[in-house]
Amino acid sequence: MFSLEEQARYARHFSLEQVGIAGQEKLKQASVLCIGAGGLGSPSCLYLAAAGIGRIGIVDPDTVELSNLQRQILHSQSSIGQSKLKSGASRIQEINPHVKVEQHNVRFSATNAMDIASQYDVIIDGTDNFPTRYLSNDVAYLLKKPNIYASIFRFEGQLSVFAPHLGGPCYRCMLPEPPDAGSVPSCAEAGVLGVLPGIMGSLQAMEAIKIILECGSPPLGRLIHYDALSTSFREFNLRSDPECPLCGSNPSITEPIDYQQSCSKTQTKSNNENIMEQPNEINVEQLKDKLDQAFDGLLIDVRESWEHNVSHIDSAKHIPMGEIPEFVPELNNMGTGQELLIICKSGGRSARVMDYLADQGFTNVYNVIGGMDAWSKLTP
Ligand SMILES: [Zn+2]
C-alpha cells in the first residue's frame, strides 16, 4: 500500500501501463547495488532513488574531491572531503526519504563481494577499473543476478546487461582476462566529458528498472555503443563463449578473484607467450603468399577512408585505427586465436593496433611491416 504522499510522488508511474500500482510495488520491494558512487553510479543512484527503489546499496571507499564534481552529480561542493557514501546517502534521502540506503564503506574485493552482492536483486557495475569490473561480473554470475554494465572512454560509452541465467553471455565471454597495466588509460589520464557518464549511468538505471518491472527487453547479448561526438548508437551482437572461463561449459573460475590494481595478467596463456617472444611481423612478400593461398584469417587495413580510397587490397577489411576498439567484440566473435594481419601506410599505426589487440587478448596478430607503401612496390 502506498501513502497519500507516495501516491502523489509516483503519480506519473501509476499512469503508465507498464508500471502502475503493481509495478511501483515491485520497485519498492526491490534492491539494487551500485558498485561505485562516481560518474556512472551518480545518475544511477539518483534516478533509482527518484523512481522509488526500496533499498539502494552503495560500495565506495573514496572521499569526494573537487575534480569529481565535473561529472559525479551525486555529490556537491559542500560534500568535498566527505565520504562518497555519506554524501550520496544524504543526497538520496533529499530526493526520496522512502529509500533505504545501505552504505558499504569498503573496497569491493574478493573477500567481501559475495557477501555484499548477495543482499541485492540487481547489480550496477559503476566501476572505473578492470579488477572491480571483473569482480562485479563474476560475482553476479555466481549469484545469478543481473550485472548491468557500462563503461566510458573519452566521448564513447558502452552498455550491456550480463545475465547468463536469463540468456546471453557474461563480460568474460567478451574479454576473458583483464588487459595489462598501462594498456588502457584510466579516467584520470584519458579525460572524459562529464555528461557522458551521466548518459550511460542513466541507461543503467533504466535497465535496472526494466528488469525489476519485467518489461521490455534488456540488452542481453547486445553491446550498445554510444558515440557522443557523432550522436550515434550502434549495436553489436555478443555471443556466449562455450570456452568462457566463467560461464563456459568447463569453467576455471568458480569463486571471486582479486586482480591486482595494476591489472597484470594472472593467467597468461602459454601460446600467447610463445608468440610474443617472436617478432609479430610479416613482410609484404609473406602477406602476398598468404593471400595467394586460401587465407582464412583477416587482413585489416587501419588507414583513414581517404587513404583507403586511393588504393587498397580488395580482400582487406577496412577499419580506421580510431574505430578498432568498437570492433573488438566483433573480432572476438571470430575467436581470439583467429589470425589477424594489420596493415596501414608504412607500418607505424598498424604496430600500435597490433599491440592494442594483443592487450585485448588476441593471440595471433601480426603487423605488416612496410605497409601499403611496400605492397604497392611489390604489386605495382
Ligand atoms: Zn562468459
pLDDT tens, position by position, for the chain (380 residues)?
899 999 999 999 999 999 999 999 999 999 999 999 999 999 999 999 999 999 999 999 999 999 999 999 999 999 999 999 999 999 999 999 999 999 999 999 999 999 999 999 999 999 988 899 999 999 999 999 999 999 998 889 999 999 999 999 999 998 888 876 555 554 445 678 999 999 999 999 999 999 999 999 999 999 999 999 999 999 999 999 999 999 999 999 999 998 865 433 333 333 333 233 346 889 999 999 999 988 889 999 998 887 888 889 999 999 988 888 888 888 888 887 889 999 998 888 888 888 888 888 888 899 998 899 899 988 87
Return d(Cα 126, Cα 132) in angstroms, integer: 9
**Rounded to 10 degrees, what is the CA torsion of 194, 198, 204, 206?**
-170
Q: What ranges in 96-243 are assigned the alpha helix state H?
A: 113-117, 130-143, 171-174, 187-190, 195-213
Within 8 A by CB and 6+ apart from 24, the residues are 2, 10, 13, 14, 52
Residue 286 Cα to ligand 1 middle (Å): 36
Return d(Cα 36, Cα 204) in angstroms, integer: 13
Return d(Cα 32, Cα 23) in angstroms, integer: 16
| DSSP classification of residue 152 | E
Residue 283 Cα to ligand 1 middle (Å): 36
Per-residue pLDDT, 190? 63
Domains and CATH numbers, the chain: 4-237 (3.40.50.720), 270-378 (3.40.250.10)
Residue 157 Cα to ligand 1 middle (Å): 21
Residue 97 Cα to ligand 1 middle (Å): 38
Residue 8 Cα to ligand 1 middle (Å): 43
| DSSP classification of residue 249 | S
In this structure, what C-alpha cell is assigned to residue 351?
A: 604496430
Q: Is 215 a catalytic residue?
A: no
Q: Is 50 exposed, middle or buried (0-12, 13-18, 19+ CB in 10 A)?
A: middle
Specify the amino acid at residue 51: A
Q: Residue with C-alpha cell 568474460?
A: 172
Residue 142 Cα to ligand 1 middle (Å): 11
Residue 248 Cα to ligand 1 middle (Å): 6
Return d(Cα 339, Cα 368) in angstroms, integer: 13
| Strand partners for 341 | 299, 366
Catalytic residue among 45, 170, 247, 344: 344
Catalytic residue among 187, 215, 244, 263: 187
Pairing of strands 365-368, 317-318: unpaired
Residue 28 Cα to ligand 1 middle (Å): 31
Per-residue pLDDT, 310? 84
How many other CB atoms are found less than 10 A from the CB of residue 14?
Answer: 17
Residue 348 Cα to ligand 1 middle (Å): 34
Q: Name which of 2, 9, 21, 71 is nearest 41 in CA terms.
A: 71
User: pTM to 2 decimals?
Assistant: 0.71
Per-residue pLDDT, 270? 32
Residue 255 Cα to ligand 1 middle (Å): 14
Per-residue pLDDT, 134? 95
Helix (H) or strand (E) holding 149: strand 147-153
Residue 207 Cα to ligand 1 middle (Å): 20
Q: Are the C-beta atoms of 141 and 147 separated by less than 8 Å? A: yes
Per-residue pLDDT, 182? 54
Q: Are the C-beta atoms of 282 and 351 separated by less than 8 Å? A: no
- 3-class secondary-structure state, position 207: helix
One-character DSSP codes across 3-43: -HHHHHHTHHHHTSTTTHHHHHHHHHH-EEEEE-SSTTHHH
How many other CB atoms are found less than 10 A from the CB of residue 86?
Answer: 15
| Strand partners for 222 | 237
How many other CB atoms are found less than 10 A from the CB of residue 94?
Answer: 9
Return d(Cα 301, Cα 281) in angstroms, integer: 15
Residue 241 Cα to ligand 1 middle (Å): 6
In this structure, what C-alpha cell is assigned to residue 23?
A: 509495478
Return d(Cα 227, Cα 332) in angstroms, integer: 21
Residue 173 Cα to ligand 1 middle (Å): 4
Q: Are the C-beta atoms of 220 and 168 separated by less than 8 Å? A: yes
Q: Is 45 a catalytic residue?
A: no
Per-residue pLDDT, 349? 82
- 3-class secondary-structure state, position 162: strand
One-character DSSP codes across 87-116: HHHHHHHHH-TT-EEEEE-S---TTTHHHH
Return d(Cα 228, Cα 366) in angstroms, integer: 32
Q: What is the pLDDT of residues 249-260, one digit of tens each?
A: 999 999 999 886
Per-residue pLDDT, 372? 92
The residue count for the chain: 380
Residue 15 Cα to ligand 1 middle (Å): 39
CA 91 to chain centre: 27
Per-residue pLDDT, 280? 84
Q: What angle do CA 28, 33, 35 make, to 5 degrees?
A: 155
How many other CB atoms are found less than 10 A from the CB of residue 257?
Answer: 17
